[in-house]
Structure 1
Amino acid sequence: MDLRISRDSPALPSTRTRRERAYESCRDPSLAVGCKNGYRLFSLSSVDRMDCIHQGEESPDVCVAERLFSSSLMVIVSRSTPFRMNIIHFKKRTEICNYSYSSHILAVKLNRQRLVVCLEEALYIHNIKDMKLLKSVLNTPPNPKGLCALSVNHSNSYLAYPGSVTAGRIALYDAGNLTEVTVIPAHSSHVAAVAFSASGSSLASASEKGTVIRVFSVPDGDKLFEFRRGMKRYVSISSLSFSADAQFLCASSNTETVHIFRLQHHSPSTESPSWSGYMGKMFSAASSFLPSQVSDMMHQDRAFASVHLSAAGMKNISALSMIQKVPRLLVASLDGHLYIYNLDLQEGGDCRLVQKHRLYESADENPAASTLEAGGLSYAETVSTNTNQHSSSLTGYSEDGGVKTGELIPDHEFADESLRLDDEQEFPPVSFQDT
């Protein structure tokens, strides 16, 4: 699942704080769930109410379900044809266009300016207005999980993806101007998760070890924050998500704990003269005499808040949002439920479960892809590769472009009010793929 916010909120009176301005601009969270029978779109208007606003049966066994903000534009990829992307107008129940690629589609990312298709060793950047292919980024480092992130702020349209075969480097690309930006040396091991903040000015990442999470500035790649998720065991990070105001970052994994980190720099002048504060200063002074690995560990911040799930070992995706002006943590799990927790923005600590919603009705509808609109990120997993079809056998496939195009999107589709692409209050969803 991906959680993300498109852009900074519109200007409000100066009496409102930055956090209030960011959260007040958010619409109700929404969730897209792909399953064996198609996909479903939900709207979460309150903690106790989650409405199914659409049920699509155009394609079976959906493994990628991406919605353009809260518009009627949906991108669907089915396991039966994993090399083909279908773009549909779900309110009209019509297909707008389709594209086929040279190998399986592992992820699709959208903002108001670009649509990016991620294959294992290539990225294709399209113009969202007419779906014309603008750039083919070929021969990228092997990326079997389809790991990539696209800033939802279309005026700051950065794309991040693995930048090395052997190390945890992140390639940063300007999808708006179609130029390379930089390569960030993020981790010593391979990157497992990446996410942009709503403004696109910060990038969070985690490695395959899952013990350390870092936040970098964009586009220069300077390290801003470093957090330690744990010390005793390696985990598989399944999602990273910023809050709407970029003051918090949540991380979920295959363990029973979801961590929430506060993104703020500590000021020594404001620290209370407590015993813990005194010991912290002592450790900080002593760290200059210790090996670099030990020193780095002592400077890493711990979680501000956390959630303890009822079960471990099951993939879940988390996101931070406001529901009826109250901060919440949302967790969508492959057990077929959406969990909603309270979050105390002042005290942190353990988050309390306040509601649970079912995402599907029967056991044979295991969710294969989902999308939740709330507050901050993007992440994708690999799709099933158990088909033997290859797009090189498709009529019209071009090795030059690496893509076979269907009918282009007619201009009038984007003039339709039901798409509302000019609505600056719309925000993108979260997407979640089963492996």
Structure 2
Amino acid sequence: MSNQPVINFINFNQNGSCISMGTSQGFKIFNCEPFGRFYQDDEGGCGIVEMLFSTSLLAVVGMGENPAMSPRRLRMLNTKRHSVICEVTFPTTILSVKMNKSRLAVLLQEQIYIYDISNMRLLHTIETSMNAQGIMSMSPNSENNYLVYPSPPKVINSEIKDHATTNNITIKKTEAVDDLTRKDNSSSNPSDTAQQSQQQQQAGGEPAPPGNANKIIKNGDVIVFNLQTLQPTMVIESHKGEIAALQLSADGTLLATASEKGTIIRVFNVENGSKVYQFRRGTYPTKISSLSFSKDNQFLAVCSSSKTVHIFKLGKNTLDNKSNELNSDDEVNDDLVQRYGDEDDEDEEMDEEAASLNSNHSSKEPVVDATRSTMGRMIRKSSQRLSRKAAKTLGAYFPIKVSSLLEPSRHFASLKITAPTNQPIKSIAAIDDPIELSIKEYPDLFENQTSTNGDHQNSDIIKMIPIRVVSSEGFMYKYISDPERGGDCILLEQYSLHSD
């Protein structure tokens, strides 16, 4: 293990068919189905390796002292010709690179450079606040061509500071967009940029003076930027705390966000900024490492540092009117849920009954993985039944907002990564199109199970959703989940990204 290179970067391509991995020695490209490495470069340490779908075009950023592998230099490579198409050197370290078939975006700590990917012509430069985590997402779809990134912090007046949230503070969208537009049209000179950054911190990036109790810092907003018109379209008020992860759907119509607390996941309509889904990942805070939509926008995978991946079901599980009226302050919600009973546990797992309630298919029992049937789960199952009964009783006496809060929308399925280390890991999931599997080929996994799909006459054939997960410790896992029953995902295959 000690001779293995350090993994600096790992990610799926835009459609989840390939994996790119940057290490201290170079980079590797893998095919997911069938699994196998088809390209490798050992010329030096790599910090970012992004693919353009399944093409031969790669965006590579180094991670070494060698000028050719500088973290400030972007190289566009053609893997078929083994050639460098172009190189661009930036004033500071490159933190993230995103691209689709028409645009390429390069994120620095306080700037985003946007290029025409067909000729690498610089189209626009966005001046932003400090974004040390490199949080940014681009729509893979060139028709709904959007870029999203965290908004600079703002100081907002609030009559009740303690209860101020991102959803009960009104900010005029036109003023916010006008302010962003003025900032985007400013000079890109480094000295001007530094002066602008300093002025912005003085104006809205620093906490309010202690003497003014009606000032609060608001830093959970997301800017939606149109990559065709090169103008910001709106500011979405997503969370109270800082943004930890965000992701656009494959068609560019939905945006998923998570705050640094990681307890609430929200999904917004990109066209009008409305909140269309809200999910509770758990009560205990954790670091969300990635968010991933399925291609048909029916499922959302949320990966956390606790090695757990939650799958939320969209579509029929949309928020009702009561849930949309909820006070969206993460901290207030957590206090109430912990006081009156929640379905969560310290591993953020869900038992059989909870999965059945959330799946909207109560006639079908959720899948249960025998390897995860621990004593703790059995104890939690009985306590959760009592919590739900208490929630129903209390709901008759509390207002609509509180009663709907006591029955939060929970995850549809989940999996626990069997990582060889006890340390927190970073993982990324990709949900593939449904596949048909023969029970006879996996007798140990599907013992005593028959097909629940009426479309198939053969009871030996079942329909499953593949969920691939790559982790920072160098493995690719292939799980499957029942699209109707939910519950525990079943581990089908596991591969090492280090092996030859």
- Give the TM-score normalised by structure 1: 0.71
SS in 1 for 2:81: coil
Q: Partners in 1 of 2:361 and 2:310 — Cα distance?
A: 23
Report the equivalent of 1:14: none
* Structure 1 residues 106 and 243, CA gap change in structure 2 (3 angstroms): same
Report the equivalent of 1:300: 408
Q: Is the 8 A contact 2:73 2:90 kept in 1?
A: yes
* Structure 1 residues 29 and 297, CA gap change in structure 2 (3 angstroms): same
SS in 2 for 1:210: coil
SS in 1 for 2:71: strand
The yes-or-no answer on 1:169 pairing with 2:221 is yes
Kindly provide the CA deviation profile for residues 29-75 of structure 1, in whole angstroms up to 9, marking residues without a partner as x. 211111122111111224xxx111111234x1111001111111111
The yes-or-no answer on 1:85 pairing with 2:74 is yes
Q: Partners in 2 of 1:235 and 1:89 — Cα distance?
A: 38
Kindly provide the CA deviation profile for residues 84-136 of structure 1, in whole angstroms up to 9, marking residues without a partner as x. 10001111111000111121100000001100001111100000100000000
Q: CA deviation at 1:164?
A: 2.7
The yes-or-no answer on 1:96 pairing with 2:85 is yes
The yes-or-no answer on 1:56 pairing with 2:44 is no
Q: Which has the higher helix share?
A: 2
Q: Is the 8 A contact 1:34 1:65 kept in 2?
A: yes
Report the equivalent of 1:246: 297
* Larger Cα-atom Rg: 2
The yes-or-no answer on 1:196 pairing with 2:248 is yes
- The alignment covers a number of residue pairs equal to 331
Pairing 1:6-85 to 2, within 5 Å after superposition: 29-46=17-34, 50-58=35-43, 60-80=44-64, 81-85=70-74
Counterpart amino acid of 1:187? H
Q: CA deviation at 1:298?
A: 3.0
Q: Is the 8 A contact 2:14 2:52 kept in 1?
A: no
The yes-or-no answer on 1:157 pairing with 2:145 is yes
Report the equivalent of 2:493: 355
Q: Partners in 2 of 1:280 and 1:93 — Cα distance?
A: 64
Q: Is the 8 A contact 2:13 2:51 kept in 1?
A: no
Unpaired segments of 5 or more residues in structure 2?
Answer: 1-9, 65-69, 154-217, 321-359, 364-384, 437-463
Q: Is the 8 A contact 1:29 1:323 kept in 2?
A: no
Report the equivalent of 2:266: 214
Q: Partners in 1 of 2:83 and 2:20 — Cα distance?
A: 18
Unpaired segments of 5 or more residues in structure 1?
Answer: 7-27, 363-435
Q: Partners in 1 of 2:233 and 2:467 — Cα distance?
A: 33
Q: Which has the higher strand share?
A: 1
The yes-or-no answer on 1:289 pairing with 2:399 is yes
The yes-or-no answer on 1:320 pairing with 2:305 is no
* Structure 1 residues 207 and 327, CA gap change in structure 2 (3 angstroms): same
Counterpart amino acid of 1:57? D
Q: CA deviation at 1:304?
A: 0.1
SS in 1 for 2:406: helix
The yes-or-no answer on 1:346 pairing with 2:484 is yes
Q: Is the 8 A contact 1:237 1:252 kept in 2?
A: yes
Report the equivalent of 1:17: none
Q: Partners in 2 of 1:200 and 1:284 — Cα distance?
A: 40
Q: Is the 8 A contact 1:202 1:218 kept in 2?
A: yes
Q: Is the 8 A contact 2:110 2:130 kept in 1?
A: yes
Q: Partners in 2 of 1:210 and 1:359 — Cα distance?
A: 28
Kindly provide the CA deviation profile for residues 202-254 of structure 1, in whole angstroms up to 9, marking residues without a partner as x. 000000000000000012110000000001x2100000000010000000010
